[in-house]
């Protein structure tokens, strides 16, 4: 039964990690009504699972890799809820909850297994992973383009020049909202895509997938993406600085894309 409770906990952590994004980054406080109950329920199931797991193994200290991951995930989830209870902030959940979800995947769905059935790698889950990430990349490209157009329009207005085609550019406020909203649409796609891909990769390669350069760069891109949205929303960043910030994340995206050439996780065709 410990695996059943842990599977339920991991699913609820996934729900909570997605619900916390609009609550923190999009100023949608009602989403906390889903994020917090889901996290609390997940923690309860998680605790029962760990207790049964250690009791069945006849020791109270985690020994195996699966036990260590499960206990570490439990502590991180508890830390998130303590921080929320004390400071009434969900901000740390943007990072902690996806981390807890990833740590719980292997102990819940592939304990002691090193390989996943090959058909799953070519299932709808793989295509969903690819489609969501492509949607996130497209949203980032739109944001970069909108930021560049904002800069061009701003410079034109400051110089008070009238340059044919540039007269058709949208107002600065419209362009800025397009740049920001594109990022807000892309973030859930990137988050869900990375979670699905991480689930497939971890159950296929085990913990070693964390050492893959493509995986590490993908998480770095996600952190940069979240930081860019947070900076734009908190400081009202626009103009040249917004272009540079978007361009930096876009550059990371290109590096992540090119990392396929040295990634063992993303070269399924070469697997025996």
Domain extents in the chain: 2-109, 122-265
Beta-carbon contacts of 113 under 8 Å, excluding residues fewer than 6 positions away, are 203
Least confident segment among 11-15, 78-82, 199-203, 208-212: 208-212
- Encoding tokens for residue 77? 């989830």
**CA 87, 16, 61 angle in degrees (round to 5)?**
80
Residue 199 CA to residue 102 CA, distance in Å, equals 7
Least confident segment among 13-17, 140-144, 254-258: 254-258
- Rounded to 5 degrees, φ, ψ at 52 are -65, -40
| Distances in whole angstroms, Cα of residue 220 to Cα of each of 162, 201, 255, 256 | 42, 17, 11, 9
Residue scoring higher pLDDT (110 or 86): 86
Average pLDDT of the chain is 77
Residue 63 CA to residue 71 CA, distance in Å, equals 10
Per-residue pLDDT averaged across 67-90, rounded?
86
Q: Residue 270 pLDDT > 60, yes or no? A: no
Beta-carbon neighbour count of residue 220 at 10 Å? 14
Query: Residue holding tokens 């979800």?
Result: 101
Comparing CA positions, the residue from 264, 227, 272 lying closest to residue 249 is: 227
Compute the radius of gyration of the chain from its Cα atoms: 21
Query: Residue holding tokens 């990430």?
Result: 133
- Say what the pLDDT of residue 264 is: 56
Residue scoring higher pLDDT (261 or 100): 100
Find the Cα–Cα–Cα–Cα dihedral 59, 65, 67, 70, rounded to 10°. 160
- Rounded to 5 degrees, φ, ψ at 217 are -70, -35
Structure confidence at residue 9 as a pLDDT band (50, 70, 90): very high
Contact predicate 204/121, CB 8 Å? yes
Q: Residue 103 pLDDT > 50, yes or no? A: yes
DSSP string, 106-120: HHHH-TT-----HHH
What burial class does residue 215 get, using C-beta atoms within 10 Å of its C-beta: 0-12 exposed, 13-18 middle, 19+ buried?
Answer: buried
Q: What is the pLDDT of residues 40-68, one digit of tens each?
A: 999 999 999 988 888 887 776 676 767 77
Contact predicate 16/93, CB 8 Å? yes
Residue 272 CA to residue 220 CA, distance in Å, equals 30
Residue 41 CA to residue 38 CA, distance in Å, equals 5
- pTM of the prediction? 0.60
Per-residue pLDDT averaged across 63-77, rounded?
81
């Amino acid at each position: 039964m410990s695996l059943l409770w842990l599977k339920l906990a991991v699913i609820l952590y996934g729900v909570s990690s997605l619900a916390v994004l609009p609550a923190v980054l999009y100023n949608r406080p009602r989403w906390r009504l889903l994020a917090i109950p889901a996290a609390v329920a997940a923690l309860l199931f998680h605790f029962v699972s760990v207790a049964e797991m250690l009791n069945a193994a006849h020791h109270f200290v985690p020994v195996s890799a699966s036990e260590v991951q499960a206990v570490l995930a439990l502590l991180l989830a508890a830390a998130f809820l303590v921080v929320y209870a004390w400071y009434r902030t969900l901000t740390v959940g943007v990072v902690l909850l996806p981390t807890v979800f990833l740590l719980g995947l292997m102990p819940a769905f592939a304990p002691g297994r090193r390989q996943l059935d090959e058909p799953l790698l070519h299932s709808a889950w793989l295509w969903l992973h690819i489609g969501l990430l492509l949607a996130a990349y497209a949203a980032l490209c739109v944001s970069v383009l909108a930021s560049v157009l904002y800069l061009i329009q701003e410079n034109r207005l400051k110089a008070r020049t009238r340059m044919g085609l540039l007269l058709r550019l949208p107002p600065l406020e419209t362009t800025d909202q397009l740049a920001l909203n594109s990022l807000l649409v892309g973030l859930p796609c990137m988050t869900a895509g990375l979670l699905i891909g991480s689930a497939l990769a971890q159950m296929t390669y085990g913990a070693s997938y964390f050492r893959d350069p493509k995986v590490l760069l993908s998480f770095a891109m996600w952190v940069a993406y979240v930081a860019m949205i947070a900076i734009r929303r908190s400081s009202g960043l626009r103009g040249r600085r917004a272009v540079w910030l978007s361009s930096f994340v876009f550059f990371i995206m290109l590096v992540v894309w090119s990392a396929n050439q040295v990634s063992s996780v993303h070269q399924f065709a070469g697997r025996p």
